[in-house]
Amino acid sequence: MIRLLSSLALLALTATPVLAQTKSLPSDVYKSVLRIEVATQVPDYLTPWNSGRFSGGIGTGFLIGKNKILTNAHVVSNARRVLITVYGSPKKYPAKVEFIAHDCDLALLSVEDFKDFEAFPTFEFGNVPTLESQVRVIGYPVGGERLSVTRGVVSRIDFQPYSHSRADSHLVVQIDAAINPGNSGGPVVQEDKVVGVAFQGLRQADNTGYIIPTPVVRRFLKDVEDGHYDHYADLGVSEFPLHNPAMRKALNLENDGNGVLITNVVPGSSSDGIIKPGDVLMSLDGKPVDSAGMITIDGENVNLNEIIERKYAGDKVAVRFLRQGGWNDVDIVLKPLHWSRMYAVQYEQKPRYVVFAGLVFQPLDTNLFAASKFNDVTLRRLYTDYVPKGLFEKHKDIVVLTRVESDPVTSQLGGFAGFAVDKINGVEVKDLNHAHELLHPKEMPEFFVIELFDAERPIIIPSAKVAEANKRMQDNGIDNLENLED
């Protein structure tokens, strides 16, 4: 379930702790916990024509099958080179990312030559650990070069945000062991089985770490069995708790602590045309939904979206809801809500942009929003409403004038940066490619008139001056005036 986070409380680390149990592990199993060294290149959304900055980090991974190394997505995001090191060996093995799922922060790697790993044991997966049980975290955290093993106790099982994408929430297990940079991607073990993958810590608290539990891991591994990662399906609704007795009475509900109010249905989502705002959701797959939006799975109370989490695109979910006092039972076919990726940080993608006579246009997304810190109220509203109000049905991209480069043509236009583009020569802009077409017509108009949302006046560029301005942009270091591909 996609959640737009207003602020980040959680911090995804370049690596996290791993492993726990009450008895010792076989010594050879440590060879299957691998140190991952990554060189990365992070795109620059402020100057999208530049290559971006180079960086690097250390993480942890572990063998789960023949040439299958599981780790976190954030360990290998934007990777340009990945090297694997075995416990007790100085040799570095080149590796590549086979599959990566940024929405659940998991990735599957392989090495170019697996023969040196053939004899290593592989980890098996167990169940979600119970509250107050002990686990071990194994990994390569900061503070040394060798393998580290720490112990922790399971203190909470919850549905929480995953900080890597900044927009997705899934099941998590909280433990009272610190998860430090370098531990990310390592196995968390109970008895002789992996019960989770270490992945993030809490900034505001000491000795508080989070692990990705096995239901999330198993779903990722099953999803990629066909050679492609298809992302999570989404019910496409927003709900509101029904604790207030007066509100329940107004909705003709018994005061029994069951049901949540549907406040929004995303256009084009799985629920569109079936559920409506004002309906009261009572159960999913026969499991009652309480007034806080919780259901019980395997003896634990978790967010109702956990039912959807364990399904795939094309699966059905049985939904029971009340509408104007009448019961309704329907099966909803689930599908991904791809447009919701607007609110997720994107990786492994070059920024899209168009430079036109010193004006820089880019499509709005979370990467750009975070880099530019836009202040225009209308632009921020377009960002917030993009999915809930179905703006994507009309605008594949919200195109933004992000920069005004110094040039004689643009000398009086600096105050227009940060506004969303409405029309170009009277035509409403649908996406960046459409904007590019309107700025490069077969027949040149005398002027290009660019209208911006809430701007005091339009921008007017004489077409006769465009070619010279573009040449000056290239002479000043912008070699490519456009990138229209993801």
* 235 in Cβ contact with 308 (< 8 Å): yes
3-state DSSP helix/strand/coil % of the chain, to nearest 5: 20, 40, 45
DSSP string, 190-236: ETTEEEEEEEEEETTSSS-EEEEEHHHHHHHHHHGGGSS-----B--
**Catalytic center residues:** 74, 105, 184
CA pair distance 168, 162, nearest whole angstrom: 6
**Which of 167, 131, 177, 184 has the alpha carbon at shortest distance from 302?**
131
The residue ranges of DSSP E strands in 220-336, in sequence order, are: 237-240, 260-265, 280-284, 287-288, 294-297, 300-303, 316-323, 326-333
Q: Is 21 helix (H, G, I), strand (E, B) or coil?
A: coil
H or E segment and range at residue 189: strand 187-190
Instruction: Enter the DSSP assignment of 243.
Output: -
What token pair was written down for 251? 């909705």
Q: Is 147 helix (H, G, I), strand (E, B) or coil?
A: coil
DSSP string, 330-395: EEEE-B--GGGGGGS---S-PPPEEEETTEEEEE--HHHHHHH----HHHHHHHHHTTTTTGGGT-
